[in-house]
């Protein structure tokens, strides 16, 4: 009979505890033995292969960087610059593989970084082979270029094994959700842009009215101006930009007590983005002190 492997875990529970007739629930910690699941050898093998691919990738980067850096060092006066440029060759196709990994659930999005990775890999292998050819060691250059190719092939196989393509209907659902979220994100940027534009317009009108002695937003075509009663237009006046409190005080002294009318006046002469609750709160405060 096969013995089941177990492991000890700590758990807790609330139990009643009474002292002098008073009972409270206290935390009781205890240990139990639970069955231990069998080792997942498939996961162990996949983890080992992924780790091996990572090590091979690092070795490939070091090897090709050294080879291409030595090649470029022939014409570049600064050695550090030559090896920094050589590092770019491998970093590009490694970045393409990283993007392919991020798109492993969407084969259509993963296709572009996969193709770009193969193109950049070919360029890097060509540079390594050119170093061997110009050094008079064509065979060594060919073998050296193969190192990067082997690393890329192994990573492609590992990525393909990790990839979990979605079925057609699920992929369409994911695309729709992604488009909806992208639309909301884009609208945030649009709203920020519109808010900045409105603030710029309000500041420009305030500056112009301050220079000319006229109240801001004196455009006769403004909808708010058209809706304002004639007697209210005669009573409201301002000589330039003012604070929200001053604008409310001016409106009250002119006989304007309607909260909506006071709010419109504040937004015209003081702050185009004045919050309604702030204006109403200040209005109530001024009425109490009047």
Total of domains in the chain:
3
Q: How far apart are CA 269 and CA 246, in angstroms?
A: 10
100 falls within a domain = yes
168 falls within a domain = no
Tens digit of each residue's pLDDT (9 = 90 or more) over 62-95: 888 888 888 888 888 888 888 888 888 888 888 9
Whether residue 47 sits in one domain with residue 132:
yes
pLDDT reading at 34 higher than 90:
no
**Better-scored residue on pLDDT, 213 or 99:** 99
Whether residue 55 sits in one domain with residue 158:
yes
Q: Which long-range contacts (CB under 8 A, 24 or more apart) does 172-175 make?
A: 174/105, 174/106
Whether residue 155 sits in one domain with residue 90:
yes
* Domain with 283 in it: 196-289
Q: How far apart are CA 280 and CA 262, in angstroms?
A: 9
Q: How far apart are CA 27 and CA 13, in angstroms?
A: 6
**CB-CB neighbours of 156 under 10 Å:** 17
Q: How far apart are CA 96 and CA 88, in angstroms?
A: 12
Whether residue 18 sits in one domain with residue 93:
no
Tens digit of each residue's pLDDT (9 = 90 or more) over 193-228: 888 888 888 888 887 876 655 555 544 444 444 444
183 falls within a domain = no
pTM of the shown model: 0.51
24 falls within a domain = yes
Whether residue 237 sits in one domain with residue 215:
yes
Whether residue 48 sits in one domain with residue 21:
no
Tens digit of each residue's pLDDT (9 = 90 or more) over 230-284: 444 444 444 446 788 888 888 777 777 788 888 888 888 777 788 888 888 888 8
Q: What's the average model confidence in pLDDT over 131-153?
A: 85
The whole-number pLDDT of residue 267 equals 81
The whole-number pLDDT of residue 224 equals 45
Give me the phi and psi of 271, to 5 degrees please. -145, 115
Whether residue 122 sits in one domain with residue 100:
yes
Measured CA to CA in angstroms, residue 140 lies from 61, 65, 137, 219, 228 at distances of 17, 16, 5, 80, 88
Q: What's the average model confidence in pLDDT over 109-134?
A: 88
Q: What's the average model confidence in pLDDT over 152-173?
A: 84
């Amino acid at each position: 009979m096969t013995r089941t492997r177990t492991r000890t875990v700590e758990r807790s529970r609330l139990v009643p505890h009474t002292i002098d007739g008073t009972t409270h629930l206290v935390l009781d910690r205890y240990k139990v033995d639970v069955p231990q699941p069998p080792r997942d050898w498939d996961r162990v093998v996949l983890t080992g292969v992924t780790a091996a691919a990572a090590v091979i990738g690092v070795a490939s980067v070091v090897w090709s960087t050294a080879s291409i850096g030595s090649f470029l060092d022939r014409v570049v006066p600064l050695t550090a610059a030559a090896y920094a440029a050589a590092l770019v060759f491998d970093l590009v196709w490694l970045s393409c593989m990283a993007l392919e990994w991020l798109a492993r659930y969407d084969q259509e999005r993963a296709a572009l970084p996969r193709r770009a990775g193969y193109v950049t890999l070919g360029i890097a292998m060509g540079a390594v082979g050119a170093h061997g050819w110009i050094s008079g060691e064509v065979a060594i250059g060919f073998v050296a270029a193969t190192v990067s190719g082997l690393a890329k092939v192994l990573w492609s196989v590992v990525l393909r094994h990790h990839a979990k393509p979605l079925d057609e209907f699920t992929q369409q659902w994911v695309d729709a959700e992604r488009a909806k979220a992208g639309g909301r994100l884009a609208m945030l940027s649009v709203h920020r842009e519109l808010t900045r534009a409105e603030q710029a317009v309000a500041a420009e009108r305030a500056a112009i009215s301050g220079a000319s002695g006229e109240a801001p937003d004196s455009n006769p075509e403004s909808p708010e101006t058209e809706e304002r009663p004639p007697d209210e237009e005669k009573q409201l006046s301002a000589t330039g930009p003012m604070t929200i409190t001053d604008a409310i005080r001016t409106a009250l002294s002119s006989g304007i007590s309607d909260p909506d009318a006071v709010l419109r006046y504040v937004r015209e002469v003081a702050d185009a983005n004045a919050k309604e609750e702030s204006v109403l709160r200040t209005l109530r405060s001024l009425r109490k002190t009047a």
